[in-house]
Each structure stands twice: as structure tokens, then as C-alpha cells.
Amino acid sequence: AQSVTQLDSHVSVSEGTPVLLRCNYSSSYSPSLFWYVQHPNKGLQLLLKYTSAATLVKGINGFEAEFKKSETSFHLTKPSAHMSDAAEYFCVVRDNYGQNFVFGPGTRLSVLP
Amino acid sequence: DGGITQSPKYLFRKEGQNVTLSCEQNLNHDAMYWYRQDPGQGLRLIYYSQIVNDFQKGDIAEGYSVSREKKESFPLTVTSAQKNPTAFYLCATTDPGRSTDTQYFGPGTRLTVL
């Protein structure tokens, strides 16, 4: 069975400082991993995805994530936070034999001026 | 949100009433999904459909029903049997025929039971 753990329910950073949102997963098979962002009362937008190619994945808006199989992690980072990054972030896993996507509980990112 | 519309954006329902949420897509995707989102719980799968005229229960299907008569449409009915229906509902699609398996989401419908 697949599962996703997002270690922090809320992360607060100052504008211009680095962002780290943590995600650990459990999957029986080779997984696909995704990060989505959700602004208040909006749908989810794909930030980036890992599908067994390069382990360092670059996404939109300066975000990137590194797949580490030995640590079963897929942490999301950004070198410098912007006010517009304040949102909810979801880590998602799907194994290559599954039909469905399993969502983590989300991490709310606050960016302070 | 590209290519997926959900209506209405906000919906109010009295207890004991059934209500239907609309999801329409023009992406020509085969698979469609309904999720429920509650604060602090992420997204939970209600129903999904891989092809027309076929659908499967997700993790929290009780009190909900769906139909998939057309490829473009996957309406969700919240019945009076759903004990706590107040939530944000999201529709999504994927194209299983492609290797990218990315989900695309609609803008959501916020349902409030009065």
C-alpha cells in the first residue's frame, strides 16, 4: 500500500529565505511522485513530478525536489521565498501498478515580509 | 485549471436534500476523479472512472453517487445519506494512455449544508 507523510503541517519563512517542505512516502513499487500547490479556494496546480528519470526535478516558479530512494523522501525546496508562494502544498505518490493517487495531508507555507 | 470546469463555485444545501455537482472537461482525457477536501486532511478519493459507463468507489464513497454517460462529464451527487457533506469538492482528470500520468484539477466547488 502507498502512503505519504508530510512532516510539517505549517512552515513559516521570511521573504527571500530558503524554503524546505518535507515529504516521505511508502510504496511497494517504483513510484511516481508529485508536488502540487493550492491557493485558497482554488484547484491544485502541478509544481513538478518525478517519474524515474533524473532524481533532481525542476518545476515551475523556481521550485525543485530531489528523489532519494534510500531515504524514501521527495522534499521540495526553493532558494528564495516570495510572498506569492504562500499557499498549501501537497505531496502525492502513485505507484506504477496503481490506478490512483495518494495525497499527503498538506503543508501550509506562510511567507513573512 | 485548464480545460476542467466545475459548477457551481459555491453551493448551499439544506439537510436532507440531494445535490449534484458538475464536472466537465474538454481535455479528451479518459479518467476522471472526485475528491473531497477537508481542512488538515488533504484530498480523499470519492469515486473515479477510467472509461465511459464505468466507475469505481474510492475510499469514502458512502453517501455519494456518480455517473459517466459521456467522456466529457462526471457529475457527483451528494445524497442525504452523507452525514457530513460540508467540504470542498475537487474534480480531476488524467490521460492513462500517456506515460506522464499527471492529474489536472478543476477549480472546485465549496458545498455548505445549512
pLDDT of B99 strictly over 60: no
Please check whether residue A36 is in contact with residue A45, taking contact to mean a CB–CB distance below 8 angstroms.
yes
What is the chain A residue with the closest CA to B38?
A105
Residues A43, B4: C-beta atoms closer than 8 Å: yes
Q: Does A26 touch chain B (CB under 8 A)?
A: no
C-alpha cell of residue B78 = 451528494
- Identify which of B1, B45, B99 has the shortest CB distance to residue A100: B45
Q: Does B97 touch chain A (CB under 8 A)?
A: no
Q: Does A108 touch chain B (CB under 8 A)?
A: no
Express each pLDDT in A24-75 by its tens digit. 998 777 788 999 999 988 889 999 999 877 889 999 999 999 999 899 999 9
β-pair type (A31-38, B19-25): unpaired
Distance from CA of B48 to the nearest CA of A (A): 9
- Identify which of A41, A92, A99 has the shortest CB distance to residue B108: A41
pLDDT of B29 strictly over 60: yes
Q: Which residues does chain B have within 8 Å of residue A36's beta carbon, measured at their own beta carbons?
A: 105
The residue ranking higher by pLDDT, A95 or A79, is A79
Q: Tell me which DSSP letter residue B30 carries.
A: S
C-alpha cell of residue B38 = 477537508
Closest CA to B23 of B36, B9, B4: B4
pLDDT of B51 strictly over 50: yes
Q: Which residues does chain A have within 8 Å of residue B43's beta carbon, measured at their own beta carbons?
A: 44, 90, 103
